[in-house]
A and B are shown apart, each in its own frame.
Chain A
Amino acid sequence: MAGHVVPQKVYFVIFALLIGLTGLTTWVATLDMPSPWNTVVALAIAIFKASLVILFFMHVKYSSNLTRAAVVAGFFWLAILLVFTLSDILTRQWIPQSTGWTTTIESPH
């Protein structure tokens, strides 16, 4: 029982895609983009490349749901770490401003 045998051709196609995307990432970095976008694009390309490796080189496309659950779990938990930690960093300066107390009830004039 060898499991699903992926034809070699598929590997070469994915390889070419990965090399191409590496070139794309490098080229995009030479463009002048407003601040968050170069990071967003770079990460998007990296995520896409990683997905190709995971699905095809690591055979996840042909694997059981259990394997897929393990893959998703790893990245999901990393997301938990990043999101919650960032939520502190990004909102630390939002200090709620109290309007203070009054000791008497002012009657409206």
Chain B
Amino acid sequence: MSTTTLEPSIETHVHYLNVSYGIKSWLLTTDHKRIGLLYLASITLMFFVGGSAAVLMRLHLIEPQGGLVEPETYNKLFTMHGIIMVFFFLIPSIPATLGNFLVPMMLGARDLAFPRLNLMSWYLYMIGAIFTLSAIAAGGVDTGWTLYPPYSSAYSHTHVIMAALGIFIAGFSSILTGFNFIVTIHKMRAPGLTWFRLPLFIWAHYATSVIQILGTPVVAVTIALLALERLFHIGLFDPNVGGDPILFQHLFWFYSHPAVYIMILPGMGVMSELITCFSRKRVFGYSFIAFSSVAIAVLSFLVWGHHMFVTGQSVYAGLVFSALSFMVAIPSAIKVFNWMATLYKGSISYDAPMLYALGFVGLFTMGGVTGLFLSSLAVDVHVHDTYFVIAHFHYIMVGGAVMAYLGGIHFWWPKITGRMYPDGWARFAALVIFVGFNLTFFPQYMLGYLGMPRRYAVYPAEFQVLNVMSSAGASILGIGYLIPLIYLTWSMRYGKVAGPNPWKAKGLEWTTPSPPPTENFEETPVVTEEAYNYSAVGEEA
């Protein structure tokens, strides 16, 4: 691209934001970029709803006997926090916002393969969200996000079916997104864009989509069966008539374990983009990272029993699941090593996206390693259903996935909006989030190891110090999340106008104007070079 003059204006070209105005042009759009923004707004809203539940919980847990809410209410809080964060924030987050926006652009395509299905997926998400929020408004659900019977099917007096319906519908939203990505990636790559020239963001979303289409239908039917059991008192999971609650857990975790990889793989894809750009280096071990994404997608389906070690599941099945769970850590570790090798002797710059990326690498590694503790059957007997598990998955989901999400949002923000965010505030917020996060969740490892159970509204007094630390951290973390909300919104109107490629990054999306026109590319690009073809600074040193 030719160098631009002092103040490039985004008003001089027609792009996807100003091509048409009015609510209908947004609600009936089939443009993948607008749909990405629709999702961005919805999931941001859901994030703060789920986050408020967390704030209330952490405030409550300042006192050992509970300071804020009744125990029944506490049960509802952790349930809604889990359901909203898992199904309505983490699962859609990167794929439905950044993925929708970027997958066609990174492939050199004009849109996804099925634009109308893409819009339908957003509507399904919204309908699912409305059902779930209605369940909250009507009084909540208290079964835990895992909805285990027989409590959820026979004993709970809360709005289980309403919430289950919301999750069921949102599941189809997820399936449609994955389905669209798979077909697009297979069939709509630009000329010259062979599989091994694809950005690793695409490989990550491909693997994620495979998990989405093969796993989500199982949880859908499982939730349907649960709803039928609750409605019609069938006895499917009722031990009194020979039903097996463990069967529910098998069917539930068959999806829900791979689901956690739906949540993290796209973040790993973002990592590959950020780390290469901000080290000005080609990624180390491209094919290893690509294949490891596929390996994770496959292996993730073979390990679900590690959530069920203490349920009465067969010991021998447990051993097999334990061994496989150790194996599934390997591809993730390969990625971390490759990213670190990419950083080595790179020309590192510490822009906000890179701060998030570096945070990810450290925190994801910590969370991942504690996953190995949990995979070990004998150790899991002691730490299952304690705060150790909570710390483990929050390190991965929040320290990992949410940091990757924020890093990606910041990285592609100029492309999406045509504006830059204020750099100082962004870096400050990244640091606040990092500090707040660690202060919130590191004490929870210790709490869990010392024996504090999860999902309890009260706890023994000797755990109070760690709990107060955790709650203090949570308040810092909450502030940290609010700061980007403010300055990113502000920047949409008042931010400095960004050119097509403010980061000087590689990738087809950076060859378009910022914001891009509706059709993305005037002519379909032809790709002749490898991905991440940054000048090899320091490679020969």
Q: Considering the complex, which residues of chain B in the window 285-326 have a beta carbon less than 8 Å from any beta carbon of chain A? A: 301-302, 304-305, 312-317, 320-321
Q: Does A27 contact B (CB under 8 A)?
A: no
Min C-beta distance of A72 to chain B, whole Å: 12
Chain B residue at minimum C-beta to C-beta distance from A66: B186
Q: Considering the complex, which residues of chain A in the window 14-64 have a beta carbon less than 8 Å from any beta carbon of chain B? A: none
Among B214, B247, B313, contact of A73 (Cβ-Cβ < 8 Å): B214
Chain A residue at minimum C-beta to C-beta distance from B255: A81
**Contact residues of B: prevailing secondary structure:** helix
Chain A residue at minimum C-beta to C-beta distance from B187: A66
Chain B residue at minimum C-beta to C-beta distance from A83: B302
Chain A residue at minimum C-beta to C-beta distance from B244: A89
Residues of chain B lying within 8 A (CB to CB) of residue A94: 314-316
Residues of chain A lying within 8 A (CB to CB) of residue B320: 84, 87
Q: Considering the complex, which residues of chain A in the window 66-83 have a beta carbon less than 8 Å from any beta carbon of chain B? A: 66, 73-74, 77, 80-81
Interface size on B, residues (CB 8 A): 21
Contact status B254-A81, CB under 8 Å: yes
Q: Does A88 contact B (CB under 8 A)?
A: yes
Contact status B214-A88, CB under 8 Å: no
Contact status B301-A87, CB under 8 Å: no
Contact status B305-A88, CB under 8 Å: yes
Q: Does B218 contact A (CB under 8 A)?
A: yes
Contact status B305-A91, CB under 8 Å: no
| Contacts A66-B186, A85-B250 given; does A92 touch B312 at CB 8 Å | yes
Give Cα A84 to B250, complex, Å: 9
Q: Does B435 contact A (CB under 8 A)?
A: no
Most chain A Cβ neighbours within 10 Å, of B313, B314, B315: B314
Contact status B302-A88, CB under 8 Å: no
Residues of chain A lying within 8 A (CB to CB) of residue B254: 81, 85
Q: Does B246 contact A (CB under 8 A)?
A: yes
Give Cα A73 to B186, complex, Å: 16
Contact status A77-B301, CB under 8 Å: yes
Residue pairs across A and B with CB atoms within 8 Å: the count is 47
Give Cα A95 to B250, complex, Å: 20
Contact status A77-B314, CB under 8 Å: no
Residues of chain B lying within 8 A (CB to CB) of residue A95: 315
Contact status B301-A88, CB under 8 Å: no
Chain A residue at minimum C-beta to C-beta distance from B308: A88
Residues of chain A lying within 8 A (CB to CB) of residue B316: 87, 91, 94
Q: Does A3 contact B (CB under 8 A)?
A: no
Contact status B314-A85, CB under 8 Å: no
| Contacts A73-B214, A77-B214 given; does A84 touch B305 at CB 8 Å | yes
Q: Does A100 contact B (CB under 8 A)?
A: no
Among A81, A92, A96, contact of B313 (Cβ-Cβ < 8 Å): A92
Chain B residue at minimum C-beta to C-beta distance from A85: B250
Residues of chain A lying within 8 A (CB to CB) of residue B304: 84
Contact status A91-B314, CB under 8 Å: yes
- Show 19 residue pairs from A and B whose CB-CB distance is below 8 angstroms, ordered by the A residue: A73-B210, A81-B251, A84-B250, A84-B304, A84-B305, A84-B317, A84-B321, A85-B247, A85-B254, A87-B316, A88-B246, A88-B305, A88-B313, A88-B314, A90-B314, A92-B313, A92-B314, A94-B315, A95-B315
Chain B interface (Cβ < 8 Å from any Cβ of A): 186, 210, 214, 218, 246-247, 250-251, 254, 301-302, 304-305, 312-317, 320-321
Chain A interface (Cβ < 8 Å from any Cβ of B): 66, 73-74, 77, 80-81, 84-85, 87-92, 94-96
